[in-house]
Structure 1
Amino acid sequence: MSKSRTAGHSLVELLLALAISLLPVLSGLMILFYQHDKKLEETARISVNEAIYSVDLALDRIHASASAALMLAGATCESAEPQLLDQIAKAPHLRSLALTVDGSTYCNTLKTPFPPDHMFPDAQSQFRLALDPPATPNAVLLAYQLTEQNLGVIATSYGMLLRNELRAFQTGLTLLLEFGDLYIWTDGDSRDPARPSQDEFFSEGVSTKYGYTVKAGYAAGYSARETRQTMKQLFPSLALVGIITGSITYWGLFRQRNQRVRSAASQG
């Protein structure tokens, strides 16, 4: 066999071994990308449901406090106020309680000239966000209204209650709560110049109990950054598998060629 022909066979074998060595690397990367995207998509979807469950529990506590205070509605403020203050002292999730008649506040645990009933446009409203309320400028309040006939109670809590619930999700996911036209998230609210980015793997859900909306998504570029980080960790292993595969393939082809050469020489 001529040297040029032998060199040609060697080159073909080398290229074939190289191509085969790339197969586990490329297939591994494809599986990596697919699993990574599916994981982010599933995390966003599951986090929405878990956030609704978690926030519902927090709002349940406010509802329970308001229900207890509603029994005092209609009583004189002089007799009801000590019991309302006692409730506030025992419930760290509460900021204030106020009793109303015909939608107007007549007894409030906070002695301010700004009654909380102005936060609600009608008696049917339940939970609402209040931004920069006159009594507490620069704050975010969560207000809840519970009514029975012409009597009612308004319970307020700080927005930190909601932010703490959202901070429990340490997954790189941006979670946002919408109450009507206003929203709140861990690092801001509707007063921000722009909403936080939730461009990637966006998911949302609505609380069937209280009607607020949870929106979840990853910031633009998050998936690419996570993919690069994962590739840095796994690529050396994939490359090693490729090198081993290519080496074994090339060695097998090399042995077959030598066997053919020896067989041809013995027959000649």
Structure 2
Amino acid sequence: MKAFPLPSARVRALLVAGLIGLLPVLSGMLVLRWQVTRTFEFQAQHVAGEAVRQLDSMIDQAAQSAQRLMPLAGKPCNAAVIQAILQEVTIEPYVRSANLVRNHDAYCSSFYGAYKRAVEPGEYFNRHLLLRASNPVTPNEASLVYRLYEHPRGVRTVIDGRTLAEALRLIQGDTVLIMQVGNAFLWGDSSIQDGEIPDHQAHHTSQVSERHGYRVHSGFSPEKAWELWRIQGLSTLGGLLLLGVLTGGVCHWLLRRQQRP
């Protein structure tokens, strides 16, 4: 059998130097991947926390309006009561409308005045919040209803879904923010989706509001994660390659020096 000739000492030195030169490149890329992943996770958690704080502030205003209107609940829907409801809606920037409830029937509204519409308590998450895709006032837009009820009377205050979605868009930056109330999900474009949250997010995290119980999901889409990773990788790859070339060159020089008679 014909034996293959062994590579010369010069070729062996080049191979060893090349392998050694690849080590800082490979180890640097692994460290970079870990750092980028940690950065994504930290940013997703930070953005989710900021979103919870902002949304809590908006819902707090709706809750405070409901508390102030509670003494009116159960009273006849006359001009004085309607005027008081309108005044409350006017002074609160995040409250779009309000209505009074009696025996699970909404009967006095800042939009309609005296009317009657059944209120289903089982629809409300944690007995207080309802995220709905549409309503009679804005049939094509989402809204969040805050319900305060002490049988047999109560108050409902409404926040426009577009206001909530705008808050999400201002905070999210490169992330994707979604507000979850029960089984309903509000996206940054103010659309509502029922069911499980879509699974197309990378580096996903979520935080729950301690005051109101809703959840905010935060993460990066695969496209955005790859784009940010590519930018970080390209900015670092040049330095790693230079370090690899220098390391390999030094190793090759040392090996050739040892091989000299």
Match of 1:96 in 2: 97
153, 159, 162: which one pairs with 2:161?
159
| Alpha carbons 2:107, 2:115 under 8 Å: kept | no
- Counterpart CA distance in 2 for 1:201 and 1:119 is 37
| Alpha carbons 1:99, 1:152 under 8 Å: kept | yes
Kindly report the root-mean-square deviation, in angstroms, between the aligned alpha carbons of the 2 structures: 2.8
| Alpha carbons 1:198, 1:216 under 8 Å: kept | no
| Alpha carbons 2:180, 2:186 under 8 Å: kept | yes
Percent identity at matched positions? 28
1:120, CA displacement in angstroms?
4.6
CA offset digits 1:26-80 (Å, max 9, x no partner): 1101111122222223333343333323321221111111111113223343222
Secondary structure, aligned partner of 2:8: helix
Q: 1:112 and 1:239, CA in 2 relative to 1: closer, same or farther beyond 3 A? A: farther
Q: 1:32 and 1:114, CA in 2 relative to 1: closer, same or farther beyond 3 A? A: farther
Secondary structure, aligned partner of 2:75: coil
201, 204, 207: which one pairs with 1:202?
204
In structure 1, runs of 5+ residues without a counterpart are: 1-6, 262-268
Match of 2:82 in 1: 81
TM-score (normalised: structure 1): 0.82
| Alpha carbons 2:47, 2:172 under 8 Å: kept | no
Larger Rg: 1
Amino acid at match of 1:163: A
Confirm or deny that 1:31 pairs with 2:31.
Answer: yes
| Alpha carbons 2:147, 2:156 under 8 Å: kept | yes
Amino acid at match of 2:27: S
129, 144, 147: which one pairs with 2:146?
144
CA offset digits 1:151-189 (Å, max 9, x no partner): 211111210222122123334222211212221110253
In structure 2, runs of 5+ residues without a counterpart are: 1-6
Aligned length: 253
Higher mean C-alpha deviation, range 91-100 or range 219-228 = 219-228
Q: 1:174 and 1:198, CA in 2 relative to 1: closer, same or farther beyond 3 A? A: farther
1:190, CA displacement in angstroms?
3.0
TM-score (normalised: structure 2): 0.84
| Alpha carbons 1:128, 1:179 under 8 Å: kept | yes
1:159-238 superposed matches below 5 A? 159-190=161-192, 196-238=198-240
